[in-house]
Amino acid sequence: MYFNIAERLLNTTLSDNHKIVSDYAAEVQDQLNKQASISLKTQIPSLNQDRIDGLTNRISSEVSFKEIQWILGEPIINFTQNIINDFVNENADFQYKTGLKPKITRTLIGKACKWCQGLAGSYSYPDVPKDVYRRHERCRCMVDYIPGDGKRQNVWSKAWKSEEENGKIEARKQIGSNIFSNSTPAPFARAVEVAKSGLDKDIAWRVTAYEPEHYVGSKLHVSPGGSTVAISTTGDIISVCRADNDNVRGTDLLKLAVENGGTKLDSYAGNHLFYTKNGFEPISWCKWDDEYAPEGWNGKPENIIFYKYTGNSKAELKPDDFYKRISASSDYDEAEKIRNEAIGGKS
């Protein structure tokens, strides 16, 4: 690609991108400063022209655009993320110079990589690692910015919270206040994989992580801590996975799903106690079939039980008690049909 074409394309697009993101971040920062009783002017970081020039030079170095079109994907996303990183860094520096004592805390989520492990910890500004604000693809680490007045701000969610508040209570309030459908198929599929990777291998296989196309049309939710839950177009609750170290409980995810239209689900028998205690009544079941064993299966067969939500938490707490009362269906499809007919015939 010719240099002048690449320069016009990237300079205009990324400059506009910087302005849009910075304006939005400034508006949020102004509101948060007001809530935290901080009477300081929000700082706007300058455009990182060197980075734009680097992208321009890289694109113009190839004769064929097809050889370099990947740069318009993840590198552009990373450029946008760094606008926020620069914004946080500049405002932390400014508030430090005005007498506040900000701290930056990076907390690991799930099975973090060695790079993230090396960045985890609490730091008194300005003595922070240069990469503390950064995160790689699929990274779920949490970074909190604490100005030093008893309030803290999450670097990525921009949510203030008192240091003394109980983390679990705050997380449950936050998940309940979010718009439920806050993700799209591809990011949600990645979030499920990340959350699942933090589970013990003996239970992780019970979580089904579908390909993105399976989630098209579904309501998809990812909590601030990386936990996932989705509701299909037919009301099935799927991909329920609490991320390791998330303050949100599995019970919170189910409650949120029910409040947003979830009416039924099916799961392996190892999850039976969890679902019955959360108001899901077992209706039908089918026997385990090695042919359909999921990836990572621990080798111990578990039947599949189909539930409908009734709010009744006094159903059989042991799968064997349920099996004695209800005969097994011939296969998965029949068990699903029986359950669906029990809630009005919805497929």
Q: What is the pLDDT of residues 61-88, one digit of tens each?
A: 666 667 667 767 777 777 887 787 788 7
Judged by DSSP in three states, 267 sits in strand
Q: What is the pLDDT of residues 81-118, one digit of tens each?
A: 778 778 877 877 887 777 777 777 787 876 778 888 88
- Those residues with Cβ within 8 angstroms of residue 74's Cβ, 6 or more apart along the chain or in another chain: 137
Q: Classify burial at 304, counting beta carbons within 10 Å of its beta carbon; exposed 0-12, middle 13-18, buried 19 or more.
A: buried
Q: So what's the pLDDT on residue 49?
A: 86
Residue 202, token pair as written in the block: 């003996």
Q: Classify burial at 92, counting beta carbons within 10 Å of its beta carbon; exposed 0-12, middle 13-18, buried 19 or more.
A: buried
Q: Residue 44 CB: number of other CB atoms within 10 A? A: 17
Q: What is the pLDDT of residues 157-191, one digit of tens each?
A: 555 555 445 444 444 444 444 468 888 888 899 99
Structural class in CATH, domain 174-342: alpha beta
Residues of the chain with CATH 3.40.630: 174-342
d(CA 278, CA 249): 12
**304-309, strands of its sheet edge to edge:** 264-268, 304-309, 280-286
DSSP string, 148-182: SSSEEEETTT--EEETTS-HHHHHHHHHHHS-S--
* Predicted TM-score (pTM) of this structure: 0.52
